[in-house]
Structure formats: C-alpha cells, structure tokens
Amino acid sequence: MKKLSQQLTTLFISLIVLIFLSVNYAPGAFAGIEWDIQKTLTLDDTPLDVAYSIYGAKAYVLCKKSLLIYDLESGKLSDKIPLEAEFSKIAVTPNQDLVYLTDVAGKKISVLSISNVYTIDIGQSPIIGDKDAKVHIVAFLDYQCPYCAQIYPTLKEVLAKYPKEANLIIKHYPLTSIHKAAENAALASLAAAKQNKYKELNDILFKNFRNINDEAIQNYAKEAGLDMTTFNKDIKDPELKKIITEDMKQGQKVGVRGVPAIYINGKPVKGRAIDYFTKTIDKELKK
C-alpha cells in the first residue's frame, strides 16, 4: 500500500511538471497582453470598494461618506446616497434592488433598499385608459407567454379601479426563440390599434394565448370587429415592426430579462397581486 501511494505521488508530481512545461514552453502559448483604459471617473469622496450591475451598466462605488451610483454608458454620476456610518465592502443583488454594505471592523452588515426609476418613452405605443392619467403602467409582454396571459386580467382590474388615475402601455417583447407567433400577434395588435380596436384584440389574444398562429390571428381579428382588408394591409406596414424593435430596445435598457416585466411610473413592480398594485398606485398618487 505504501509503495502504491509513493507511485501515485510520483505520477501526480510528473503530471504537474508536464502541465507547467506545456504552459511555459509551448511555442506561441503566451504572446503578451493588450490593455486600454476605458473610462476614468473623478470622485469627490474616497473610494473603498465597487460593485457592478449584472450587465455592467451601473457602477456602485462605496466611499467613506457616501454611496455613488454611476451610469457607465454616459460616464456620469446618476445618484449619490449619503451614509451615516463607514463601511468597507459592497455587494449588489442581480436586480439591483438591494445593496449590502459590510462593516468589517464593526462586524455588521447593513442592507440598503434601492428603487430604480427609469424613463420609459411611450413613443408610438397605444395607450389603454385615460391618456392624461398621472400613473403610467408600462408592461413588457409576449402574447404567447402564459405568465403574461395570467397577469393581463389583473392589469385590467387595476384600470377598472383607477379609470382616471392610471393607464396601461403595453411594450411588445416577443420571445421569438420559443414563441414563434408572438411577433405576428404583436403586429396584429398594432394593426388593430389603427382601427381603434387595440384593447379588443388584446383581450382575445391573451385569452387564447395557447392557440396563436397566423390562421388563428385572422379569426381573432374578425372576432374583434376589424375591417379585414384594412387589417391585412396594415399588418404589413414596416413601421409596426419598428415599434416592436424600439420596444425591445427600451426593455433592454431598463433591465428586462424576462416577461412579464411591469413598471409603474418607471419603477419596477415586484408583486403581482391586486393589493400590491393598489398600494403602489396610491403611493404614487400621494406624491
């Protein structure tokens, strides 16, 4: 047994030596590095640690007296949060709603809750509800997504509860890799909007999310009361495809990683129950 152990040890050492030699002496294995300073940020406080958002769009810089949040795309300071105590390390959750500040010397961790507020351009998106409402509910949805179909009745219930105070803007975010007809359904809804039947077709599409294809879309358009000659002409309008492309670009900018993704006056919505929407909207109306 001792002899076998010695043999294995010798074999392991030999393997390590071979790996070392192959890395250090193989022709062309290492030719050097290239480097470049992408950005230099000038701070007004002493930096101690830094964390980044999941896609690197924001940098959270922990300083002695403050937490600085930088937009790396523009290279500008977007927010500055004063800190009452000193911390030494920082970590940020993937959805950027919680920041963990560690005080190594004091042996404690503080959790800071952050609500990101985004500017979402309504653009050419149809509006369901009162256009002059103070509360804008922006929902990134896919017509073939079962979770989107599940949340849509809740959104309708919210609008019924706040007919003058809130409206709904659907941003089309078709997951075409798994939902083959989702984009055509989105085009159909935008074509329906030209005949002021956007809500009617939306209701039908989400109700029948399990059965959406080109033939079904034609039937749903008829059911919604659309003029089919005009509808079939409008659905081919390249401008509608541009609206969907712009919706998806906006979604990526505001951190959409899946649907449904819902924002109330620019703030991501975490809950899905009607009570959560009610509390959030009431809070916005009090501002």
Which residue, of 90, 113, 136, is where some domain finishes? 113
Task: Count Cβ neighbours within 10 Å for each residue of 156-184 and write b for 16 or more, e otherwise.
Answer: bebbeebeebbbbbbbbbbeeeebebbbb
d(CA 278, CA 206): 23
Alpha-helical (H) ranges within the chain are 2-25, 146-161, 182-193, 198-207, 214-223, 228-234, 238-253, 274-286
Q: What are phi and psi of 53, to 5 degrees?
A: -70, 165
Same domain as 173, residue 281: yes
Which residue, of 61, 89, 113, is where some domain finishes? 113
Amino acid at 7: Q
Q: For 58, what's the count of Cα atoms within 13 Å in the CB-facing half-sphere? A: 25
The domain containing residue 95 runs over which residues?
47-113
Q: Looking at the 3D structure of the chain, how many domains does it have?
A: 2
Looking at the domain assignment, is residue 31 inside a domain?
no
Do residues 137 and 264 touch, judged by C-beta distance below 8 A? yes
Which residue, of 113, 147, 162, is where some domain finishes? 113
Looking at the domain assignment, is residue 220 inside a domain?
yes
Same domain as 274, residue 209: yes
Q: What angle do CA 138, 164, 268 make, to 5 degrees?
A: 25
What secondary structure letter does DSSP report for 6?
H
Same domain as 164, residue 75: no
Same domain as 192, residue 88: no
Per-residue pLDDT of the chain (287 residues; tens, 9 = 90+): 555 455 444 544 554 444 444 545 455 555 677 888 777 777 888 999 999 887 778 899 999 999 999 888 788 898 899 998 899 999 998 877 789 999 988 889 999 988 778 999 999 999 999 999 999 999 999 999 999 999 999 999 999 999 999 999 999 999 999 999 999 999 999 999 999 999 999 999 999 999 999 999 999 999 999 999 999 999 999 999 999 999 999 999 898 989 999 999 999 998 999 999 999 999 999 98
**For residue 274, what is the domain's CATH number?**
3.40.30.10
Same domain as 138, residue 260: yes
Same domain as 76, residue 216: no
Q: Strand 127-129's sheet: what is its strand order?
A: 127-129, 166-172, 135-141, 261-264, 267-268
The answer to whether the predicted template modeling score (pTM) of the entire model surpasses 0.75 is: no
Same domain as 257, residue 160: yes
What pLDDT sits at residue 17?
A: 46
Looking at the domain assignment, is residue 120 inside a domain?
no
* Residue whose C-alpha is closest to residue 111's, from 71, 67, 79: 67
User: Where is 124: in which H helix or E strand?
Assistant: none
CA dist 139 to 214, 265, 268, Å? Answer: 24, 11, 10
Looking at the domain assignment, is residue 38 inside a domain?
no
Same domain as 139, residue 59: no
What pLDDT sits at residue 27?
A: 55
Same domain as 280, residue 210: yes
